[in-house]
Structure 1
């Protein structure tokens, strides 16, 4: 007796059960389009009697900023929130301090406003940070022995000292520093970014302006800050005594908040595991 396996075997599962029947009459429609947010920029313009512009990007760069002494002379507001504060220093350097993390859609608007503040072809210097944990390099580095790096536009003529090395591809500068450099490259305005090494990996851009934290778990070393200072002096062609940057001021504004934060962890067991 012949056996036909195609007739005697049970039918395939897909011939009996199919999820496609559950989808009859319930086809997904087109995605709802979300209107792009329109940001409003308000500029409280600072005075124009400055020699050059220094842009402070991010919480790590604010440690370098604490070595300067200045007073507030202007601001940039995004949707009613102050996101940039302008400082005037004794050395006639105008400092733009970024106080908030910016959404992606607003970064180029704030960058354009900062560049327009400079007006002419005077150089723009930015100070930001890069994570050496995420930096791609063929060179072997001893732990915690990472140099400050720089990235310049094609129209920049001044270069930092040899202790500050280039920020090489395929690594990318992100956030406001990238937007300012791109705007300067388009306008052929000299611009240089000095990058402080840090362990901190920056988070992605937030959906709305978010204020930076006043504390940082991984403050940069004083050696890195002094290396960046030599880069500032070299690029802006300003004597160190005229710049009035002092290492003794660095971190003073963070000391109180850090000591309070640390005291919370020393209540039980001196910060160790308590059983």
Structure 2
């Protein structure tokens, strides 16, 4: 066995950096790589145990336009930036969360955001509305965008005709996936089988990259190509509440962009959240 007698010695100056003005100090400690600080605050009074319907990103923004959610009852802040709006529609017993309508969460905050909401609301079941990219979806069957189906993911072995399964090897890397993962962990760690389903509207756009940091910048509204048919939205709206056992009265109704659009609703929610310290929402 050969032993290097210089193994414990200092490296030559040129082996560090020839133009480094600081001498090598083996006792210097390197700062640890700490993750970003995540502070989540939920405002509003909600009784735990009710079904939860989550509408996220462009799909959630478009759906909220015609869902008649009524008065906003709460808000969710991440590092003092509003990320979610909470509603208690009179047409159903479910709580509704419109999430990431005006900003997008970085990857490092998604899991904590999802778990904090689930711990706080303790929903009996959840359904989520989101999008998938038709262009990047891997399938043996090539379909044009206008023929692409609504797809779904579920923790239980169920069939949601006429929707199609979101099949492997495709993956989701959004906050919706964080919610599903958190619900799955709750199922595995208890004797209770939680019901959790994601409905995914087809999108012609490439999935946006999650930002590296959270900012209050407003996201753009879905383009004309991403305005889904009314028939599809009515069917999806019905399934969202039926899945969690909270079928509601009334149906989804399209509103024109000029009158009560999802964008203007989002702007109104943001303005309400900026009134006073901590954000009031009435």
In structure 2, relative to structure 1, the CA distance for the partners of 1:184 and 1:253 (3 Å cut) is same
In structure 2, relative to structure 1, the CA distance for the partners of 1:142 and 1:215 (3 Å cut) is closer
Corresponding position of 1:3: none
Give the Cα separation in 1 of the matches to 2:203 and 2:236.
Answer: 13
Question: How far is 1:36 from its partner?
Answer: 1.8
Give the Cα separation in 1 of the matches to 2:60 and 2:72.
Answer: 18
Give the Cα separation in 2 of the matches to 1:256 and 1:38.
Answer: 30
**Over aligned residue pairs, what C-alpha RMSD do you find?**
2.8
Q: Greater share of helix residues, 1 or 2? A: 1
Corresponding position of 2:140: 138
Tell me which moved more, 110-119 or 100-109. 110-119
Question: How far is 1:118 from its partner?
Answer: 3.1
Q: TM-score, length-normalised on structure 1? A: 0.73
SS at match of 1:248: coil
SS at match of 2:260: helix
Q: Give structure 2 stretches of 5+ with no counterpart.
A: 1-13, 188-193, 265-282
Corresponding position of 2:96: 95
Count of residue pairs brought into register by the alignment: 229
Is residue 244 of structure 2 the alignment partner of residue 236 of structure 1? Answer: yes
Is residue 15 of structure 2 the alignment partner of residue 53 of structure 1? Answer: no
Q: TM-score, length-normalised on structure 2? A: 0.71
In structure 2, relative to structure 1, the CA distance for the partners of 1:92 and 1:212 (3 Å cut) is farther
Corresponding position of 1:123: 125
Give the Cα separation in 2 of the matches to 1:224 and 1:86.
Answer: 24
CA contact (8 A) 1:61 1:127 kept: yes
1:205 to 203, 210, 213: 210
In structure 2, relative to structure 1, the CA distance for the partners of 1:256 and 1:198 (3 Å cut) is closer
Is residue 122 of structure 2 the alignment partner of residue 105 of structure 1? Answer: no
Q: Give structure 1 stretches of 5+ with no counterpart.
A: 1-22, 258-275
CA contact (8 A) 1:59 1:212 kept: no
Question: How far is 1:48 from its partner?
Answer: 1.4
